[in-house]
Amino acid sequence: MLEQARSLPYTSRMSLSQELFQRACQCIPGGVNSPVRAFRRLDRAPFFVTSAKGAHLKDVDGNDYIDYVGTWGPAILGHAPNCVIEAVCEAATHGLSFGTPTSVEVDMAEMVCDWIPSVEKLRMCNSGTEATMSAIRLARGYTGRDMIIKFDGCYHGHSDSLLVAAGSGALTHGEPDSAGVPADFARLTLSLPYNNREALEAAFARVGSRIAAIIVEPYPGNAGFYLPYDGYLEFLREITARHGALLIFDEVMTGFRISPAGVQGKLNISPDLTCLGKIIGGGLPVGAFGGRADIMDCLSPLGPVYQAGTLSGNPVAMAAGLAQLRELKASNAYERLENLGARLEEGVARILRDTGKDFCFKRAGSMYSLFFCPGDVYDLNSAMKSDFNIFRHYFLSMLEQGVYVAPSAYESGFISTAHTEADIDWTLQSMERALRSL
């Protein structure tokens, strides 16, 4: 069908993604397998990708895009890095899944424990949702307590306990508190404003003895990307220790991204448990959670907290993740990511100055967000001030110029080591044209 479509006049070819989207909507809810991909409220159908390499995506209509979504974080080396492709092809020749232990799972666990000092033991799973869901259950099992604290706009996947005031697609589509989550479940999750010490002190004063854990995105990236106030994460460490609750860092996006040891490595904070995903899978479905051995040993088959998965530690996925992590370690990836991120940030600052736009730009390393509102962004309420109509104009203008930024005002942007200075410069030129056309 693709070849036939390609022979059509260009104007008809433009509809191939739309034709696919129409077909998809007949058999897939909303036409997508994850809501944020749907381009809802963006006045156009999503494009359908045929291939990706380095910093670029190609769609079925032959359009090419510089990609700042990076499949929502995993593509830190760019798409389809040769080292990952070769590792996957090699692993696949030995089999796809065994349901038995394999050496690559040991290699992966040893590597993560080496990279992230707070992780003494690790359990693999198949998504970030599984990782956080399991970490929550483990925290409840270890402490014997039921309540969880999360933060407004933070997103930890779609397990029932965590779809309360959630970010990412839940926020994008106005469903921060999803239907289908029993009220009795939601009552055990307290969602508080991020960067607000008083709210936390008050919650612990009220129900501290019932709180099993705080789970936090140390650098929130699911209401757009913003940062903790100085000392805030250290405060989370102190108040949880003071009340016998656990501290869970959800580093599904920031792990191996902000530093080789995520945010915790950059700030030298030791959470009790850490959730991982995305980069650790090299683009294949992988999640993981780990932490203090005395807590992790509560997991079956050693302890009473059950957690399992048919494809957990899948050998092909492990090969992909190991290849990606090894390349990150062997290259000067983090220096390159910082240099590219700084180039983008300096360019954005110049553009905002030259165009007189009072917008807020936040960045750490290769994660960033542009908020279309004045003032600082430091929590969900301030992020929600970003003007959606300006965002939609910006998104569509950038796409027309061959730059794919996240199709939501409530996601982070990601730079990869495969982005070039020329990519960044084209992106900045496109951004300036987009903002000047407002």
Q: Given the rule CB under 6 A, which residues bind ligand KE4?
A: 34, 36, 72, 127-129, 132, 155-157, 168-169, 217, 221-222, 250, 252-253, 277, 287, 411
* Residue closer to ligand KE4, measured from CB, 35 or 193: 35
- To ligand KE4, the closest distance from the beta carbon of 128 in angstroms equals 2
- To ligand KE4, the closest distance from the beta carbon of 263 in angstroms equals 11
* Residue closer to ligand KE4, measured from CB, 181 or 207: 181
107 among known catalytic residues:
no
* Residue closer to ligand KE4, measured from CB, 204 or 379: 379
- To ligand KE4, the closest distance from the beta carbon of 250 in angstroms equals 5
* Residue closer to ligand KE4, measured from CB, 72 or 371: 72
250 among known catalytic residues:
yes
Using left for φ > 0, alpha for ψ between -120 and 50, and beta otherwise, residue 190 falls in beta
Q: Which two tokens stand for residue 342?
A: 């700084």
278 among known catalytic residues:
yes
Alpha-carbon distance of 224 to 385, in angstroms, equals: 11
Per annotation, catalytic residue among 59, 152, 250, 379: 250
* Residue closer to ligand KE4, measured from CB, 128 or 271: 128
- To ligand KE4, the closest distance from the beta carbon of 159 in angstroms equals 9
Measured in residues, the chain has a length of: 438
- To ligand KE4, the closest distance from the beta carbon of 406 in angstroms equals 8
**What is residue 57's three-state secondary structure?**
strand
Rounded to 5 degrees, φ, ψ at 295 are -80, -50
Ordered DSSP codes for 328-359:
HHHTTHHHHHHHHHHHHHHHHHHHHHHHT---
- Does the N-terminal peptide bond of residue 285 adopt cis geometry, omega within 30 degrees of 0? no
CB closest to ligand KE4, residue no: 128
Other beta carbons within 10 Å of 98: 11
Per annotation, catalytic residue among 68, 142, 155, 226: 155
What's the Cα-to-Cα distance from 17 to each of 50, 63, 145, 290, rounded to whole Å?
A: 10, 11, 49, 41
Per annotation, catalytic residue among 61, 194, 219, 278: 278
Q: Looking at the annotation, which residues are catalytic?
A: 155, 250, 278
